[in-house]
Amino acid sequence: MKKRAFDRYPANQNVRLYFENNISTGTLLNISKSGMFVNTRTCLPLKTKLEIHLPIGEDILKVPVKVARLSRKDDIYDGIGTELLESSAKYLEFVDDQTRIVKTTEKKIKTFVCSVCDHITFDTAPITCPFCSGSIDNFHDNSGALNIPEKIDTLTEFEKKHFPLIILSREYGPAQDFKHLDVHVKVGAIQHKMDVEDHISFIDFYFNDMHLPKKCIARINLNCNILNPEATLRFRDVNPGILTIISNCNTHGSWLSETTI
């Protein structure tokens, strides 16, 4: 078997594909110094030249590539392997950053993501996606691609716009009896914008006690332009455990925050 010239690293990033006068979307699943693999339902013939627009922070890196490989699953077209037509210092820097991210977080947390609705599960992929009802075949391993804060007090401005902020408020009755717990989530400490190009598309709430795996208990879908990236859930009953929030930016991927309740 021919060995790849460069190592590939997993990624999970929404990208846009520009070819001739068309625009399509896809998810960047892995990247190397010589090319990228993009999950997309847009069928492009081999050798098609296109530009992949890759969000890096708040900038867009435009990478000229050509289609070198077509991917199919169960006879359905599901992605393209591409070769770079031109490299740049910024692209190589981005690949190096992915390398570092993978090395620091790859084995810490195992996650799978649904390629249809972006729902993330922990440890294993479900038989059926709880949100889009798609099959387990739509899930791919994206361990290392989920953004997790290393140190909350050293976040950059860009990170502060994406990591969800969790605010808890408990209410008690006159006899100090527990009434409810409100979990308010804001994205983020600096509010994320909500325009078509760059917005928070949903907030997923997960809960697990100390013995059970994390399970998603609610999703709030957000409509860009008319809503702030905020959501509140009211719990009538609470067991001690860990509340995990994932916010999904349509351009900059998934971001996780956690708290104990």
Q: Which residues bind Fe ion (CB under 5 A)?
A: 198, 249, 251-252
**Which of residues 63 and 249 has its CB atom nearest to Fe ion in the complex?**
249
**Which of residues 67 and 249 has its CB atom nearest to Fe ion in the complex?**
249
What minimum distance in Å lies between the beta carbon of 197 and Fe ion? 9
What minimum distance in Å lies between the beta carbon of 80 and Fe ion? 24
Asked if 199 and 221 count as a contact pair (C-beta separation under 8 A), the reply is: no
**Which of residues 114 and 187 has its CB atom nearest to Fe ion in the complex?**
187
What minimum distance in Å lies between the beta carbon of 8 and Fe ion? 25
**Which of residues 157 and 182 has its CB atom nearest to Fe ion in the complex?**
157
Q: How far apart are CA 126 and CA 101, in angstroms?
A: 26
What minimum distance in Å lies between the beta carbon of 33 and Fe ion? 26
What minimum distance in Å lies between the beta carbon of 201 and Fe ion? 10
DSSP 135: B
Give the residue from 152, 143, 259 showing the smallest Cα distance to 207.
Answer: 259
- Long-range contacts, 146-151 (Cβ 8 Å, 24+): 146/12, 146/105, 146/109, 146/111, 146/120, 146/246, 146/253, 146/254, 146/255, 146/256, 147/253, 147/254, 147/255, 147/256, 148/105, 148/108, 148/109, 148/256, 149/256, 149/257, 150/104
**Which of residues 117 and 249 has its CB atom nearest to Fe ion in the complex?**
249
What minimum distance in Å lies between the beta carbon of 252 and Fe ion? 4
Asked if 31 and 83 count as a contact pair (C-beta separation under 8 A), the reply is: no
**Which of residues 106 and 198 has its CB atom nearest to Fe ion in the complex?**
198
In degrees and rounded to multiples of 5, residue 173 shows phi and psi of: -80, 180
Closest-approach residue to Fe ion (CB): 249
